[in-house]
């Protein structure tokens, strides 16, 4: 390192310190700040001074080891002087000279901790920068210009985008993508107007077109009827609403200190990662009876979202997206629009990720946090059996929601983490945006004689069948790290004697999973409750303290196990897996997913069949949707919602919201209507 470098590093470091000072002290799980991202960039670029065109594919917090965090937490909570924070570290994946490198940087000593060249199969996430450059290549490629001329299209109205191409048994793979194009002329809904039959293969490392196909000409579907912008739509509009207000006198009912949130009986931390998007950590709930916070979820996030399309023909067979590992679910997050994406009482948090060149990119209003009151009932009872008296007790349900939207190309995913005072954590997903559409010649189903792999949803437009598999990483720490996974099966019992007129009943038969093999579960095969319990702690009544998974929509993969996309997405082979906690087992589909071969998925890790009883365990849960498009999904899809819950099960001694009172009504100041 030369003197100039040192000076640069020093000044950046000072910048970082002053930033940290004038804001709050960073929580050890806080996402990297813009100054930290800049610091990483400088340190990495100085470490590889001769590297040309170094690109940053991933920069994120290298979070402290779990014991360090827990130690820090307990020291922070105690009255004694807080222990120093664990050192801030960053993990980066960069590429130059066609090689990926992993680098761990210590942000407090501004030094490189370790470096490694990546040798295995698969590539890091695509950057927005390289996708933008690749998408422009066709415009200076003669055969593509010919294709446009042949179709009579105005070049300035053509938009192209990059698509990952998976792996289909090839021996050697390059970092290739396919570039497909759309005709935006007169509409914002470019996905509705594909130039079907045309695709360029781009080598991202050489940044040039290495293959080109113009297989057939079908008409570009017409622009009419594809618009979704209110400003471009013509009356009549409807259905109509009256004005609706959401208001809280005295402001929000939660407190937010940087990324740490406290609300009602919950405390948790909201993190961000360029690949995973939102990360919820250290969720603990205050127990009114025990008079202390109790740990529930150490960490939860979506390590992968697999979206395989079901058209096996040349133009579509490779369309099997891994939205996290290939495209970056975090970098795809959209700025939320106040009032439309989140209610009026929402607060917002920005996010920052490292762009291709390592400089921080801001996503303004990336998260919103709000108290949700939708007029639902938390609990109630009416009692009419007591003579001369009718008793009714009812409590209204209020919860706290952390929301993001990630827009990965055509689709928009709404991800909610909802905390309820009764101890439930409800995880919601909403699917909206624009379908994956294919242009064809048909305008009526009567004309169709063969399989078109989708639904004819408009003239010349087919919505291709596909799935959405959301995999969740759920490191539950129920009252501590040592937990077990319990399957409580509901089994029918035939009555053998004649003491009762009943011939049958059902009862609960519980088994504790000993090893990983015992915890691979496909939901729906038999009725059961799936629990994570702390086998070392019991309620006064003697039940094991636990939380159970209340699954959402169940979908099993319909591809064959030996089909290439399914080999790469083998983590969807079961709805539930349980593994012992291992800091490096984080990305369920492998560290490097673009063009991966499935040799680093949870299906491989769990072959070791490790012990999981009374250990720090991680629950991996996949919720899926098979999507047969319908005409209502066009030109833009009304949100399709699903979700699952983590629900306390013998965690509390009794109903934890027995003594909760409904929120008091807000008294509006006197106001006269302007209408
Ligand atoms: C670096 O990128 C520039 C601009 O894209 C390009 O002209 C140059 O050839 C690249 N250099 C190397 C060594 O790849
Ligand atoms: C740690 O302690 C400080 C000072 O008491 C407090 O402001 C902060 O919220 C605590 N953080 C956590 C995560 O408990
Ligand atoms: C192509 O579109 C541009 C505007 O995007 C317009 O200015 C131009 O006149 C169009 N060319 C033709 C041949 O229609
Ligand atoms: C593009 O849109 C304009 C404006 O509606 C229309 O006049 C023109 O015919 C369109 N061009 C093509 C080639 O579809
Ligand atoms: C953690 O997981 C990685 C990847 O599966 C593995 O190589 C490593 O041996 C594991 N560590 C332990 C302590 O099991
Ligand atoms: C609201 O109206 C009542 C009755 O007209 C009046 O007594 C009161 O002072 C008003 N309050 C405010 C805050 O204007
Ligand atoms: Cu869909």
Domain coordinates of the chain in residue numbers?
A: 10-117, 254-649
Ligand 2 centroid to residue 23 C-alpha, Å: 14
Give CA separation, 210 vs 7, 146, 411, 601, in Å.
44, 17, 28, 30
Length of the chain: 675
- Percentage of residues in the chain with pLDDT exceeding 70? 94
Active site residue 30: no
pLDDT at 22 over 80: no
- Residue 323 annotated to the active site: yes
Q: Which amino acid residue places its CA nearest to atom 4 of ligand 6?
A: 670
CA–centroid distance, 77 to ligand 7, in Å, is: 45
Query: How confident is the model at residue 258, as a pLDDT?
Result: 94
pLDDT at 21: 37
How large is the average pLDDT for residues 385-401? Answer: 97
Left, alpha or beta for 480 (phi > 0: left; psi -120 to 50: alpha)? left
| Tens digit of each residue's pLDDT (9 = 90 or more) over 27-59 | 999 999 999 999 999 999 999 987 778 999 999
Secondary structure (3-state) at 205 = coil
Q: Could you read off the pLDDT of 171-196 as tens digits, one per residue? A: 999 999 999 999 999 899 999 999 99
Mean pLDDT within 290-307: 97
Residue with the smallest CA separation from ligand 1 atom 9 is 53
CB 123 within 8 A of CB 49: no
What CA–CA distance (Å, rounded) separates 302 from 451? 34
pLDDT (tens digit per residue) in 223-252: 999 999 999 999 999 999 888 878 887 788
Q: Active site residue: 411, 413, 564, 634, which one?
A: 411
DSSP class of residue 83? P
Task: State the Cα torsion 349-352-353-354 to the nearest 10°.
Answer: 180
Q: pTM for this structure?
A: 0.93
- Predicted confidence band of residue 576 (pLDDT cuts 50, 70, 90): very high
Tell me the ligand closest to 153's alpha carbon.
4
pLDDT score for 242: 87
pLDDT of residue 451: 97
CA 153 to ligand 4: nearest atom: 13
CB of 663 closer than 8 Å to CB of 371: no
Q: What is the mean pLDDT of the chain?
A: 93
Q: Which of 52, 54, 98, 130 to mutate to test the pocket of ligand 1 (most atoms within 8 A of CB)?
A: 52
Cβ(670) to ligand 6 under 6 A? yes
pLDDT interval class at 618 (50, 70, 90): very high
Q: Is the pLDDT of residue 398 over 80?
A: yes
Is pLDDT at 483 greater than 80 in this prediction? yes
Return the ligand 4 atom nearest residue 152 CA: 13
Range scoring the smallest mean pLDDT among 165-169, 246-250, 506-510, 563-567: 246-250
List strand residue ranges (DSSP E) for 309-346, in order. 320-322
Pocket test for ligand 5, best of 584, 586, 598, 610 (most atoms within 8 A of CB): 584
* Closest residue to atom 4 of ligand 3, CA basis: 156
- 580 Cα–ligand 5 center, Å: 10
Beta bridge pairs of residue 529: 488
Maximum distance among all Cα pairs of the chain, rounded to whole angstroms: 93
Task: Give me the residue label for tokens 């100041």.
Answer: 669
Residues 6+ apart with CB under 8 A from 372: 343, 398, 399, 400, 401, 418
In this prediction, residue 310 has a pLDDT band, given cuts at 50, 70 and 90, of very high
Options 1.10.150.650, 3.30.465.10, 2.70.98.20, 2.170.190.11; CATH for 254-649 is 2.70.98.20
Question: Which of 451, 450, 480, 455 lies closest to 465, judged by CA?
Answer: 455
* pLDDT (0 to 100) of residue 24: 56
The 8-class DSSP code of residue 563 comes to S
Q: What is the pLDDT of residue 9?
A: 44
CATH number of the 10-117 domain: 3.10.450.40
Helices (H) and strands (E) in the chain, counts: 7, 30
Least confident of 19-23, 203-207, 347-351, 624-628: 19-23
Choice among 30, 205, 323, 616 that is catalytic: 323
Ligand 2 binding residues, C-beta < 6 A: 27, 76, 82, 257, 260
Q: Predicted confidence band at 19 (pLDDT cuts at 50, 70, 90)?
A: very low
Which residues contact residue 490 at a Cβ distance below 8 angstroms, ignoring those fewer than 6 apart? 506, 507, 508, 526, 527, 528, 529
d(CA 338, CA 396) in angstroms, rounded, equals 25
DSSP designation for 435: -
**Predicted pLDDT at 394:** 97
Q: pLDDT confidence of 81, banded at 50, 70, 90?
A: low
Whether the pLDDT of residue 605 is over 60: the answer is yes
Q: How many CB atoms lie within 10 A of CB 616?
A: 18
Instruction: Tell me the average pLDDT across 512-526.
Output: 96
What's the average model confidence in pLDDT over 418-434?
98
CA separation for the pair 372, 660 (Å, rounded): 16
| Planar angle of CA 189, 190, 192, nearest 5 degrees | 75
Cα–Cα separations (whole angstroms), residue 201 to 142, 218, 639:
14, 20, 33
For residue 204, CA distances in Å to 455, 568, 618 come to 33, 21, 36
329 vs 342: CA distance, rounded Å: 20
């Amino acid at each position: 390192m030369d003197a100039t470098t040192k000076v640069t590093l020093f000044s950046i470091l000072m910048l970082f310190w002053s930033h940290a000072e004038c804001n709050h002290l960073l929580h050890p799980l806080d996402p990297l700040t813009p100054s930290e991202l800049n610091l990483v960039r400088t340190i990495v670029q100085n470490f590889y001074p001769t590297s040309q065109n170094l690109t940053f594919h991933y920069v994120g917090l290298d979070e402290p080891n779990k014991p360090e965090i827990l130690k820090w937490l307990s020291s922070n909570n105690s009255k004694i002087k807080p222990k120093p924070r664990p050192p801030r570290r960053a993990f980066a994946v960069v590429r130059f000279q066609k090689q990926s490198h992993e680098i761990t940087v210590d942000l407090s000593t501004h030094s490189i901790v370790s470096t490694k060249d990546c040798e295995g199969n698969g590539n890091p996430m695509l950057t927005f920068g390289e996708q933008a450059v690749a998408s422009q290549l066709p415009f200076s490629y003669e055969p593509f210009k010919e294709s446009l001329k042949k179709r009579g299209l105005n070049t300035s109205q053509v938009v192209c985008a990059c698509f990952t191409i998976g792996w289909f048994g090839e021996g050697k793979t390059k970092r290739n993508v396919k570039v497909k194009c759309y005709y935006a002329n007169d509409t914002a809904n470019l996905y509705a107007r594909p130039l079907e039959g045309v695709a360029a293969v781009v080598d991202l490392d050489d940044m040039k077109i290495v293959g080109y196909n113009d297989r057939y000409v079908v008409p570009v579907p017409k622009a009419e009827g594809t618009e979704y912008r209110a400003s471009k739509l013509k009356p009549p509009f409807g259905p109509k609403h009256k004005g609706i207000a959401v208001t809280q006198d005295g402001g929000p009912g939660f407190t937010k200190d940087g990324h740490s949130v406290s609300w009602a009986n919950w405390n948790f931390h909201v993190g961000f990662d360029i690949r995973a998007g939102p990360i919820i950590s250290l969720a603990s709930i205050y127990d009114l009876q025990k008079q202390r916070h109790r740990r529930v979820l150490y960490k939860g996030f979506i390590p992968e979202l697999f979206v395989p399309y079901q058209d096996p023909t040349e133009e579509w067979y490779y369309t099997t997206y891994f939205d996290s590992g290939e495209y970056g679910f975090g970098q795809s997050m959209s700025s939320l629009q106040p009032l439309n994406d989140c209610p009026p009482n929402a607060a917002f948090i920005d996010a920052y990720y490292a762009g291709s060149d390592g400089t921080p990119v801001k996503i303004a209003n990336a998260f919103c946090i709000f108290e949700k009151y939708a007029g639902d009932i938390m609990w109630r009872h009416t009692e009419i059996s007591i003579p001369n008296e009718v008793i009714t007790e009812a409590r209204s349900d209020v919860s706290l929601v952390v929301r993001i939207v990630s827009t990965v190309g055509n689709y928009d995913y709404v991800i909610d983490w909802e905390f309820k005072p009764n101890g439930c954590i409800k995880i919601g997903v909403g699917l909206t945006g624009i379908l994956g559409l294919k242009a064809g010649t048909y305008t009526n189903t009567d004309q169709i004689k063969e399989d078109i792999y989708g639904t004819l949803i408009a003239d010349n437009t087919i919505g291709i069948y596909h799935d959405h598999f959301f995999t969740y990483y759920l490191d539950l720490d129920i009252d501590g790290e040592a937990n077990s996974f319990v399957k409580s099966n509901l089994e029918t019992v035939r009555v053998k004697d004649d003491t009762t007129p009943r011939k049958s009943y059902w009862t609960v038969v519980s088994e504790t999973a000993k090893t990983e093999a015992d915890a691979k579960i496909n939901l729906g095969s038999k009725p059961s409750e799936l629990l994570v319990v702390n086998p070392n702690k019991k309620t006064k009544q003697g039940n094991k303290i636990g939380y159970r998974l209340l699954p959402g929509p169940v979908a099993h993969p319909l591809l064959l196990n030996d089909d290439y996309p399914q080999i790469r997405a083998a983590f969807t082979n079961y709805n539930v897996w349980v593994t012992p906690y291992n800091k490096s087992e984080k990305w369920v589909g492998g560290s490097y997913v673009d063009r991966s071969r499935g040799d680093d998925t949870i299906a491989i890790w769990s072959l070791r069949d490790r012990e999981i009883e009374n250990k720090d365990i991680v629950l991996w849960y996949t919720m899926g949707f098979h999507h047969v498009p319908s005409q209502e999904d066009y030109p833009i899809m009304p949100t399709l919602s699903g979700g699952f819950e983590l629900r306390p099960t013998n965690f509390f001694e009794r109903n934890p919201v027995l003594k909760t009172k409904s929120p008091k009504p807000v008294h509006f100041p006197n106001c006269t209507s302007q209408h």
